[in-house]
Amino acid sequence: MSLTFFVGMTVSKEINIKGLVQGVGFRPAIYRMAIMHCLTGTVENNNKGVSIIIEGDKKNVTRFINDIPLRTPIASSISSIEIEDKKISGYKDFQISKSTSESNEITEVSPDIGVCDECLEDIKKQHNRINYAFTNCTNCGPRFTIIKDLPYDRAKTTMDVFPMCESCNSEYKKILDRRFHAQPVACNNCGPHYSLYYKGEIIIDISTIISTSCKLIESGKILAIKGLGGYHLSCDAFNENSINNLRIAKNREGKPFAIMFKDVFSAKKYLHISNEEEKLLTSWRKPIVLLKLKIDISASISIGLNTIGVMLPYMPLHYLLFEKLVTSSIVLTSGNISDEPVIISNEDALSTLGKISDGVITYNRDIYNRTDDSVTTVINNIPRVIRRSRSYAPSPLDINLRTEGIFAGGAELVNCFCLGKGNQAILSQHIGDLKNLETFEFYEESVSRFSRLFRFKPQLAVMDLHPDYLSSRYVEQMQLPTTKVQHHHAHIASCMAEHKLDEKVIGVSFDGTGMGDDSNIWGSEFFICDLADYERITHFEYIMQPGGDAVIKHPWRMMSAYLNHYFGKEAENKYPFLFKGIDEYSLRTVQNMLTNKLNSPLTSSAGRLFDAISALLRVCHSSTYHAEAPMRLESVADPSIAESYTYSQYKILSFKSTFVELIADISNGTPLEMISGKFHNTIVNVIIDTVLLIRKKSGINKVVLSGGTFQNSILLEKVEMKLAANGFDYYTQSKIPSNDGGIALGQLAIAAKRRELGRFDL
Ligand code: ZN
Ligand code: ZN
Ligand code: FE
């Protein structure tokens, strides 16, 4: 009788895990599980992910394997687990091996993680971490923002200049410690520290920094504060005066500011927060969540909108500030002037933000990768990412296509680019509007940093049809085999890639602008498409866009164009009240353009129709930031209204009757909320009626919706509900923005598919 009979059967397995498994405390968690189940073996990071060899009693090994998805760290995510039998090697114990980096395959870089509760406790209790605002552990802290290269090790982060003290080093080495192998581990004795630049002095004592900063905020002053991915500008969220001063200083006339609340409890006094929204708000990513106002916090923050961007503290410093602050909320907006990239260098912060603030809180650890706060919203109980940056980037997306070597340049106004590795799409953090020189430099720098970090060698490149997009020009100068992708096809492909769809679908792509293959401006497209090709089935009728891009700042120009289109020159005589308040000279110029078809490209954009209606209702005549007119129109709408206006469908979609009925409602004195509600319902009907017709003709039951217009919560909520009621399988974006921030993913998927079909225009 052998000994193994008594102790159960001994087995050995090799387990390979891919996904977001490095830099998130994965190996120590595996170690603890192995010890718990009395097993031996090894765990190591390699460039494919995490590799485990586990040996011991068969039942315990099974339990260990079952535990992996349940007991691994909060910020990790497993994309695949492969298990193979192995010969028994007779390990004496369980060990964590050093990182190896022999292969060219690279695994995921963890995004930054908001400070955990245990670290917040350490700040109160641990003698070397009292008020230490850089406290972190394997479960929390900075990651992507400080990583310069892989494999993830302290020496390859901006923590490389801070040698660990003895006490930190012993935690770092102790396998059962929460800080075991936490690369940014630090304490008051060895790590980075904050400084406050105030009135020509530099304060370095943290308690004095906190108390002085709180006094400044409470007395209505503006502070610049270094965050995880860049600087913020901050002031009391309840102080109208300070907010207005900040607005002037930042040169940001109308754009709403994001705010940070002390905690969910205080946020609930002012905001409606559903369970799903609370989950998102308090998640480790700590994104900005767009929430509906209960009571207005301050008119100068929301500027007439019924929602506001809210986040909760995610750095120890935020907690330290709120402990002393009387106010429960502060503005925390990106530290930049206008639309330039958020400032990350201490020098720039002192010279630029120093001038427009009363004090600058900085620290002496570099931010290597710039990130903005991510922005999210919850629609139909599903979280949707609108701006994908801090704590989301650079997590890749698995798509069911070989993407290796493909570079997708993205769009222009809301740019993100995308790299292909294996079957993954690695989207950059939100870059911004490439037309700014500084933003374009950020784009170039990020492309080269991502390429190095992910060992990316471009073989093929993708660009938008628009030759003048700066991203298109960038792709062209790469001098690689290139494929061109139509903007709205890319929106649909982005949503398809997110849901791993690879078949013919009905695509509904609504947004503000994108070049069509007939050189007109598109933006209300109904396609039958797959990943490689599209057929344009129908769209809104073409309307002149007087002055081209100038309409974006002047929605009333689109109103004039629509009225001129449907009622001719008579529009002004017929409906003089609609033109009230428009400067006579500008109006004549626009009317002249429309009559003589001068400098007026044609557009089928849904965004431009929303602009026109917003101006018609005097909700927004002139716009001070991107998409202000549609946002205001949504904000005034009563979503409980059931009525709608008529429209006509004959090959293309036309809105003459919509305008006639809507103007009649204005003349009748119908309330604004009702008119806007009816207009939203009209667009819902247009979408549902049209996809029903397309399904009837094509037999296709899958509908894919994307494009910035679907950030409109009333529209998306109602469209999804009606698609479900009509038995459609429908797909909308959640992890990836439906705005132009998601375009690069769609471009990548289309190129991958075309390459698979052997159709890349080589
Ligand atoms: Zn922690
Ligand atoms: Zn230390
Ligand atoms: Fe778009």
For residue 287, the one-letter residue type is: P
What lies within 8 Å, CB to CB, of 536 at 6+ separation is 516, 525, 526, 527
**Looking at the predicted structure, is the pLDDT value of residue 2 above 50?**
no
Whole-number average pLDDT of the chain:
94
CA of 155 to the centre of ligand 2 (A): 16
Measured in Å, residue 213 CA sits from the centre of ligand 2 at 26
* Rounded distance from Cα 182 to ligand 1 centre (Å): 9
Instruction: Say which ligand is closest to the CA of 522.
Output: 3
Closest CA to 271 of 286, 284, 283, 259: 259
Dist. CA 192 → ligand 1 center (Å): 16
Apex 260 CA angle, 255 and 261, nearest 5? 130
> Model confidence over 411-466: pLDDT tens digits?
999 999 999 999 899 999 999 999 999 999 999 999 999 999 999 999 999 999 99
CA 163 to centroid of ligand 2, rounded, Å: 8
Tokens found for residue 174 = 């102790």
Tell me the C-alpha distance between 431 and 446, whole Å: 9
| CATH number for domain 3-96, candidates 3.40.190.10, 3.20.20.70, 3.30.70.100, 1.10.10.60 | 3.30.70.100
The amino acid at 308: I
Are 81 and 15 spatial neighbours (Cβ–Cβ below 8 Å)?
yes
The ligand placed nearest to the CA atom of residue 743 is 3
Q: Is the pLDDT of residue 668 over 80?
A: yes
Ion ligand 3 contact residues with beta carbon within 5 A: 511, 514, 740
Cα 169 to middle of ligand 2, angstroms: 7
Q: How far is the CA of 43 from the centre of ligand 2 (A)?
A: 27
Q: Which secondary structure element, helix H or strand E, spans residue 755, and what is its range? A: helix 743-756
- Per-residue DSSP letters for 111-166? PPBPPPHHHHHHHHH-GGGTT-TT--BTTBB--GGGB-SSS--GGGBTTTTSPPPH
What pLDDT sits at residue 102?
47
Query: Which pLDDT score, from 0 to 100, does residue 299 have?
Result: 86
Say how many Å lie between the CA of residue 647 and the centre of ligand 2: 68
Residue 251: the pLDDT is 83
CB contact set of 117 (below 8 Å; sequence gap of 6+): none
CATH match for 194-363 among 3.30.465.10, 3.40.30.10, 3.40.50.720, 3.90.870.40? 3.90.870.40
Work out the average pLDDT over 111-128.
96
Q: How many CB atoms lie within 10 A of CB 124?
A: 9
Contact 526, 516 (CB under 8 A): no
499 pLDDT tier (thresholds 50, 70, 90): very high
Residue 30 Cα to ligand 3 midpoint, Å, equals: 43
Which pLDDT score is estimated for 109?
84
- What spacing in Å lies between the alpha carbon of 512 and ligand 3's midpoint? 6
Rounded to the nearest angstrom, the distance between the alpha carbon of 138 and the centre of ligand 1 is 6
Model confidence pLDDT, tens digit, residues 705-750: 999 999 999 999 999 999 999 999 999 999 999 999 999 999 999 9
Q: Is the CATH code 3.30.420.40 the one for domain 543-683? A: yes
- Ligand closest to Cα of 75 equals 1
Query: Strand 359-363 vs strand 223-226: parallel, antiparallel, or unpaired?
Result: parallel
Question: How far apart (Å, rounded) are the C-alpha atoms in residues 208 and 474?
Answer: 48
CA of 73 from ligand 3 middle (Å) equals 36
Ligand 1 mean position, distance from CA 172 (Å)? 13
Mean pLDDT of 624-638: 95
pLDDT in the model for residue 107: 64
Q: Is the dihedral of CA 580, 584, 586, 589 positive or negative?
A: positive
Task: Give the span between the Cα atoms of 187 and 124, in whole angstroms.
Answer: 13
- Ligand closest to CA 115: 1
For residue 226, how far is its CA from the centre of ligand 2 (angstroms)?
22
Report how far ligand 3's centroid is from the alpha carbon of 626 (Å): 12
Residues by chain with Cβ below 5 Å of ion ligand 2: 165, 168, 187, 189-190
Q: How far is the CA of 175 from the centre of ligand 1 (A)?
A: 16
C-alpha 14 – ligand 1 centre gap (Å) = 30
Q: What is the pLDDT of residue 99?
A: 67
Q: Which ligand is nearest to the CA of 524?
A: 3
Stretch 110-133: mean pLDDT = 96
In which band, very low, low, confident or very high, does the pLDDT at 104 lie, cut at 50, 70 and 90? very low
How many A from CA of 116 to the centre of ligand 1? 4
Mean pLDDT throughout 508-532?
Answer: 97
Residue 7 is predicted with a pLDDT of 58
**Residue in 453, 517, 234, 224 with CA at minimum distance from that of residue 353:** 224
Span 157-203, pLDDT tens digits: 999 999 999 999 999 998 888 898 899 999 999 999 999 999 999 99
Q: Indicate the pTM of the whole model.
A: 0.94
Tokens standing for 63? 């339990």
Instruction: Indicate the domain borders of the chain.
Output: 3-96, 117-173, 194-363, 543-683
101 confidence band (pLDDT: 50, 70, 90) = low
- Cis amide leading into 163 (omega within 30): no
Instruction: Say if residue 256 is preceded by a cis peptide, omega within 30 of 0.
Output: no
Give the pLDDT band (50/70/90) at residue 272. Answer: very high
Phi, psi for 268 (deg, rounded to 5): -65, -20
Ligand with minimal distance to 165 CA:
2
Only one residue has tokens 């503006």, namely: 222
Is-contact 595 583, C-beta < 8 A? no
Say yes or no: do domains 3-96 and 543-683 share a fold: no
DSSP 438: H
Share of the chain above pLDDT 90, in %: 86
Please work out, in degrees rounded to the nearest 5, the angle formed at the alpha carbon of residue 564 by the alpha carbons of 558 and 568.
180
Q: Which ligand is nearest to the CA of 167?
A: 2
| C-alpha 476 to ligand 3 mean position (Å) | 21
Angle (CA) 386-135-276 rounded to 5° is: 30
Q: Which two tokens stand for residue 307?
A: 């929602």
Q: How far is the CA of 591 from the centre of ligand 2 (A)?
A: 70
* Gap from CA of 315 to ligand 1 centroid (Å): 11
CA of 252 to the centre of ligand 3 (A): 23
CB-neighbour burial class of residue 577 (10 A; exposed 0-12, middle 13-18, buried 19+): exposed
**In one letter, which amino acid is 591?**
Q
Ligand nearest to the CA of 413: 3
Residue corresponding to tokens 């005097």: 618
Contacts 24+ apart (CB under 8 A), 262-269: 262/313, 262/322, 262/325, 262/328, 262/329, 263/312, 263/313, 263/322, 264/312, 266/328, 266/329, 267/291, 267/310, 267/312, 267/329, 269/294, 269/295, 269/328
